[in-house]
C-alpha cells in the first residue's frame, strides 16, 4: 500500500544508486573484505584452505556462493576475541547478546564500525521521518544489547534531541514523553504496545496529550497486525527495524514510511537467502534463511553469517526512491520454529490471529508440553477488561473463535485459554512468547 507522505533520505547517494553501480561497489568491497579476513583471522583462513579457496578466487558478488558460512557457534568457539580481525587496541566498543541458548556472544567494533552503524541508524530514523527538529525517546535497553546505543547514535548523527531513557519505568517514560513533547519512540514492539496501553490506562489521549509521530520498533519478531495495533494505540507510524549484534546492531535494514519491507543497507552488507537444510542460495522472492556478509567492517567482519532468521528478499524499486533490496518481515527463526505433532508452528502465526480478535489483548504465551508421547500446545491469551466482565457464554464464543482460527491458520488443534487482563508478564525488552516444557 503506498501513501503520500514525504520521504526523507539520509544518504541519497548510497541509498538510491543504480543497482548496477551498487553491485560494482559491493564486488569491490567484498574482494577487499575476503582478503582482509583471510589475512587476519586464522580460523576463517583454515576454513577457506580446507575448501581450497584462495582470496584471489573471489572476483565479485557472483563468487560469494563459494565462501564457507560462519555461524553463531563460531563466535562461541572463538570466545571472546578469536574472530577479531583488527588489533585489540583498535576496538573501541564491545556489544553482546545473551542469545536464546545460554552462552553470550560478543562482537568487537572499531571506530569505523561504530561510524558505519551510526550511519545505518541515521538512515533508519530518517526513513521514519526524523529530522534535527525531532525529540527521540530511546526506550531500548542501554548496555551490551545494541538497541539503546544504536538508536542513540543514529539520532545523535541526525542532530535530533535524544532522550536516552533505556527500558523500564513505564510511568516515567510516559511522563517524559508527554512533558518534553517527544516526537519519536524507539523500543521493542512488545514494549511499544505496553506503553500504548499504559497511556490509555492513565486516561491520556495520544492524539491530544502526546506529540509522537513515529516509532522505530524491532529486535524481536512482530506481525503486520501488531503494527496496525501499535499505530492505533499511539496514533503514530510504526516502522520495522532489523539488526543483529554480529553484523552491526539495529539498522542493518529498516522500513520506510511505505511500510512494505525493510531496506537493506547494501553498501555495507550483502544479503542472501539460502535453503537452511542444504545451504543452497535461493532466488529473490523465495523464503529461506537470511545470510549476511559485511563489506565495510574492520573489527569482526562476518562472511556469509547465517542469521537463522527466515524471510525473503524483494529487489523491486520502492516508491520512496530507494533502490536497495527489501527484506520482508521476519516470519520466524529456524530455531524458534516449534514442531507440534509434526507441524511447523511459528509464534508469529498465532500473533497474527490474536491481534485481529476483539476482546483479547495481543499478549500471549505458548505453553508446549508432551503428554503420553504426544505434543500439546496451550495458547494463553489475555482478555481485555471489557471482555473479562462479559458473560461466560460470550467469553466461550470468543475462545472457540480463536481456537478455530488458529486451527485454520496453523493446521493443528490447540487448547486456547483466556486469562485475566494483565496476567501475562510484560516485557520491557524482547518478549518471551514460548515456554517449551519438552526442552526442559
Ligand atoms: P540481538 O543481536 O540480541 O539484538 O538479536 C538479533 C536477533 O533479533 C535477530 O537475529 C532476529 O532474530 C531478532 N530481530 C531483530 N530485529 C528484528 C525484527 N525487526 N523482526 C524480527 N526479529 C528481529
Ligand atoms: Zn521505501
Q: What is the pLDDT of residues 258-314, one digit of tens each?
A: 999 999 999 999 999 999 999 999 999 999 999 999 999 999 999 999 999 999 999
The H or E element containing residue 379 is strand 374-383
**How is residue 394 written as a grid cell?**
460470550
The alpha carbon of 68 and the centre of ligand 1 are apart by a number of angstroms equal to 23
The alpha carbon of 2 and the centre of ligand 1 are apart by a number of angstroms equal to 26
How far apart CA 173 and CA 57 sit, in angstroms, is 54
The whole model's pTM is what?
0.90
Residue nearest to atom 6 of ligand 1 (CA): 244
| Fold (CATH) for 338-439 | GMP Synthetase; Chain A, domain 3 (3.30.300)
How far apart CA 114 and CA 108 sit, in angstroms, is 10
Q: Taking a C-beta distance cutoff of 8 angstroms, is the pair 357, 401 a contact?
A: yes
The H or E element containing residue 306 is strand 305-311
pLDDT > 70 in the chain, percent: 98
Q: Ligand 1 test: best mutation among 223, 238, 243, most atoms within 8 Å of CB? A: 243
Closest atom of ligand 1 relative to the 147 alpha carbon: 4
Q: Taking a C-beta distance cutoff of 8 angstroms, is the pair 121, 5 a contact?
A: no
Q: Ligand 1 test: best mutation among 220, 263, 332, most atoms within 8 Å of CB? A: 220
> pLDDT averaged over the chain?
94
Q: From the CA of 127, which ligand is nearest?
A: 2
Q: From the CA of 256, which ligand is nearest?
A: 2
> Ligand 1: residues whose CB is within 6 Å?
97, 146, 218-221, 240-245, 307, 309, 330, 333
The alpha carbon of 135 and the centre of ligand 2 are apart by a number of angstroms equal to 23
Q: What is the number of alpha carbons within 13 Å of residue 262 lying toward its C-beta?
A: 28
The alpha carbon of 163 and the centre of ligand 1 are apart by a number of angstroms equal to 23
- Domain 1-334, CATH homologous superfamily name and number: ANL, N-terminal domain (3.40.50.12780)
Q: Ligand 1 test: best mutation among 76, 308, 309, 351, most atoms within 8 Å of CB? A: 309
Q: Please give the pLDDT value at position 2.
A: 47
**How is residue 320 written as a grid cell?**
520512496
- Which residues, in sequence order, are bridge partners of residue 370? 375
In the chain the first and final C-alpha atoms are separated, in Å, by: 44
The H or E element containing residue 111 is helix 111-127
**How is residue 244 written as a grid cell?**
543483529
The H or E element containing residue 375 is strand 374-383
| Nearest one of 221, 218, 55, 238 to 145, comparing CA atoms | 218
Q: Please give the pLDDT value at position 101.
A: 53
Candidate from 172-181, 317-326, 370-379 with smallest mean pLDDT: 370-379
Residue nearest to atom 21 of ligand 1 (CA): 221
Per residue in 128-165, pLDDT tens?
999 999 999 999 999 999 999 999 999 999 999 999 99
Q: Please give the pLDDT value at position 1.
A: 44
Hey, where are the domains in the chain?
A: 1-334, 338-439
User: 6 by DSSP, 3-state: which?
Assistant: coil
- Which residues, in sequence order, are bridge partners of residue 218? 241
Q: From the CA of 149, which ligand is nearest?
A: 1
Candidate from 71-80, 273-282, 331-340 with smallest mean pLDDT: 331-340
User: 95 by DSSP, 3-state: which?
Assistant: strand
Candidate from 95-104, 226-235, 273-282, 283-292 with smallest mean pLDDT: 95-104
Closest atom of ligand 1 relative to the 246 alpha carbon: 2
How far apart CA 49 and CA 400 sit, in angstroms, is 59
Residue nearest to atom 4 of ligand 1 (CA): 244
Q: Give mean pLDDT, residues 212-220.
A: 96
How far apart CA 201 and CA 194 sit, in angstroms, is 10
CA 240 to chain centroid: 7
**How is residue 416 written as a grid cell?**
486456547
The alpha carbon of 259 and the centre of ligand 2 are apart by a number of angstroms equal to 7
- Which residues, in sequence order, are bridge partners of residue 382? 419
Closest atom of ligand 1 relative to the 221 alpha carbon: 21
Amino acid at each position: 500500500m503506498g501513501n503520500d507522505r514525504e520521504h526523507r533520505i539520509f544518504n541519497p547517494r548510497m541509498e538510491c544508486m543504480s543497482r548496477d553501480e551498487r553491485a560494482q561497489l559491493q564486488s569491490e568491497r567484498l574482494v577487499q573484505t575476503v582478503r582482509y579476513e583471510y589475512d587476519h583471522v586464522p580460523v576463517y583462513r583454515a576454513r577457506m584452505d580446507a575448501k581450497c579457496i584462495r582470496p584471489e578466487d573471489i572476483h565479485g558478488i557472483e563468487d560469494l556462493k563459494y565462501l564457507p558460512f560462519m555461524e553463531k557457534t563460531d563466535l562461541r568457539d572463538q570466545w571472546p576475541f578469536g574472530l577479531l580481525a583488527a588489533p585489540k587496541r583498535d576496538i573501541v566498543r564491545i556489544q553482546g547478546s545473551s542469545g536464546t541458548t545460554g552462552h553470550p556472544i560478543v562482537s568487537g567494533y572499531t571506530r569505523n564500525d561504530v561510524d558505519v552503524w551510526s550511519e545505518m541508524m541515521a538512515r533508519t530514523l530518517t526513513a521514519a521521518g526524523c529530522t534535527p527538529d525531532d525529540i527521540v525517546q530511546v526506550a531500548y535497553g542501554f548496555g551490551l544489547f545494541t538497541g539503546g546505543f544504536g538508536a542513540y547514535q543514529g539520532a545523535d548523527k541526525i542532530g535530533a534531541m535524544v532522550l536516552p531513557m533505556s527500558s523500564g519505568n513505564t510511568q516515567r517514560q510516559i511522563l517524559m514523553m508527554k512533558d518534553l513533547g517527544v516526537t519519536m519512540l524507539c523500543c521493542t514492539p512488545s514494549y511499544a504496545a505496553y506503553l500504548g496501553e499504559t497511556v490509555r490506562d492513565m486516561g491520556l489521549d495520544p492524539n491530544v496529550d502526546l506529540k509522537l509521530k513515529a516509532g522505530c520498533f524491532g529486535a524481536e519478531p512482530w506481525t503486520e497486525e501488531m503494527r496496525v495495533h501499535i499505530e492505533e494505540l499511539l496514533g503514530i507510524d510504526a516502522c520495522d527495524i532489523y539488526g543483529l549484534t554480529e553484523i552491526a546492531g539495529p539498522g542493518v535494514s529498516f522500513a520506510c514510511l511505505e511500510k512494505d519491507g525493510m531496506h537493506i543497507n547494501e553498501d555495507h552488507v550483502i544479503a542472501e537467502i539460502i535453503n537452511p537444510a542444504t545451504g543452497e542460495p535461493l532466488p529473490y522472492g523465495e523464503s529461506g534463511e537470511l545470510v549476511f556478509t559485511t563489506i565495510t567492517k574492520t573489527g569482526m567482519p562476518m562472511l556469509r553469517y547465517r542469521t537463522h532468521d527466515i524471510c525473503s528478499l524483494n529487489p523491486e524499486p520502492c516508491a520512496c526512491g530507494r533502490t536497495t533490496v527489501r527484506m520482508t518481515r521476519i516470519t520466524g527463526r529456524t530455531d524458534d520454529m516449534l514442531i507440534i505433532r509434526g507441524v511447523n508452528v511459528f509464534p508469529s502465526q498465532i500473533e497474527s490471529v490474536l491481534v485481529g480478535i476483539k476482546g483479547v489483548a495481543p499478549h500471549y504465551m505458548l505453553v508446549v508440553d508432551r503428554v503420553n508421547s504426544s505434543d500439546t500446545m496451550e495458547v494463553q491469551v489475555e482478555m481485555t477488561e471489557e471482555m473479562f466482565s462479559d458473560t461466560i457464554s460470550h467469553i466461550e464464543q470468543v475462545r472457540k473463535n480463536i481456537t478455530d482460527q488458529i486451527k485454520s491458520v496453523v493446521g493443528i488443534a490447540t487448547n486456547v485459554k483466556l486469562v485475566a487482563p494483565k496476567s501475562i508478564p510484560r516485557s520491557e525488552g524482547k518478549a518471551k512468547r514460548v515456554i517449551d516444557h519438552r526442552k526442559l
